[in-house]
A = this chain, B = another copy of it.
Amino acid sequence: MTVLKTKTSETTTPLDTLQSQMAIEMKAVNKMILDHMHSDVPLIPHLASYLIAAGGKRIRPLLTLAATQLFDGDMTRAHRLSACVEFIHTATLLHDDVVDDSDERRGKKSANVIFGNEASVLVGDFLFSRAFQLMVADGNLDILRILSNASAVIAEGEVLQLSVQNNLETTMEQYYAVIEGKTAALFAAACEVGPVIADKDESTIQALRDYGMNLGIAFQIADDVLDYSAERATMGKAVGDDFREGKMTVPIILAIEQATDEEKKFWTRTLGDKNQTEDDLATAQELINKYDTISKGLEIAHSYGEKAIKDLKQAAPDSPLRQIMIDLVEFTINRDH
């Protein structure tokens, strides 16, 4: 069984290290983000800055910066493309919250609650368009191809997730297709952009893409596991959103695969028929514990993490930055438990 590490407030995480390493670069990215959020229609910067000011880890733009610096690429181009990646991410968050009817994001009321679903949909579209304008301003067709393909794959992943929602027959294969689309595709593109900016060879570009893809898969599995974590609940953090929304994620899929007839009835009622009572989350967590599917999920995440590290080692010689990007993988899996 994988042991969960507990993060204390004094620990400097690899993400902290990357953030401080990239502080000056991120300042330029933030300026780019603010400049391109501007519109003569006041509701647009108003809504966009509400979400962007709420923070977030900025892991995707940090990956673009790191992947560019790792190969001595032009950081001015990386600033623009990091902003582009963050815009794509922000647009999907706005639309996700509408689709999931969420009421919280980054510890604040979500934008759809404050500004309405209508505004969230349309400002999401605006940010998405701005992302494309930023790519076009960069002017490299390979990068345009990478990021426009990623956008299409993200949307496909989101639609697939919606299609299998509340469906007990969902397979691990479908689950991987969902998370590769909705999460890992943008991680992969964010990383791939770096060696393309630096004009590296195909195999290096592919290796960085694979690093991002495997890191993204590990990241999303960890996220999905966290949503059922009892440790996390004792820390006062929200759990159970995925259960309430009927999202078919790894802890559930693996528990259903092994369920007794009695347990199948429970899953059918709570997920298939969307008929949940307040105690059901606790029962779901008991069944997840019974089959140890949190640990199994984390083991899968670790195996993707190992692949990501191997990809990165293959692509670039040892350096302090490469080490941070390696450490980031483990941190991504063990965060927040």
Contact = CB atoms under 8 A, between A and B. Distances in A.
Contact of A130 (B125, B135, B152): B152
A123 B119 CA distance: 18
Contact of A144 (B121, B136, B159): B136
A236 B39 CA distance: 41
Given A95-B125, A118-B99, A162-B119, A40 B149 contact: no
Interface string A23-50: 0000000000000000111111000000
A207 B50 CA distance: 40
Nearest to A42: B163
Contacts of A330: none
A122 B136 contact: no
Contact of A156 (B44, B92, B136, B145): B44
Contacts of A117: 98-99, 117
Contacts of A99: 117-118, 121-122
Interface string A112-129: 000001110111111011
B162 A43 contact: yes
Contacts of A118: 98-99, 162
Given A98-B117, A133-B152, A160 B41 contact: yes
Given A95-B121, A117-B98, A126 B152 contact: yes
Given A121-B98, A139-B141, A132 B148 contact: yes
Given A39-B156, A125-B128, A125-B158, 12 more contacts: A41-B156, A92-B125, A98-B117, A98-B118, A98-B121, A122-B159, A123-B159, A126-B152, A128-B128, A128-B155, A133-B149, A136-B141
Given A118-B99, A121-B121, A126 B148 contact: no
Q: Give the oligomeric copy count.
A: 2
A151 interface: yes
Contacts of A95: 121-122, 125
Contacts of A163: 41-43
A94 to B, nearest CB: 10
Contacts of A119: 159, 162
A44 to B, nearest CB: 6
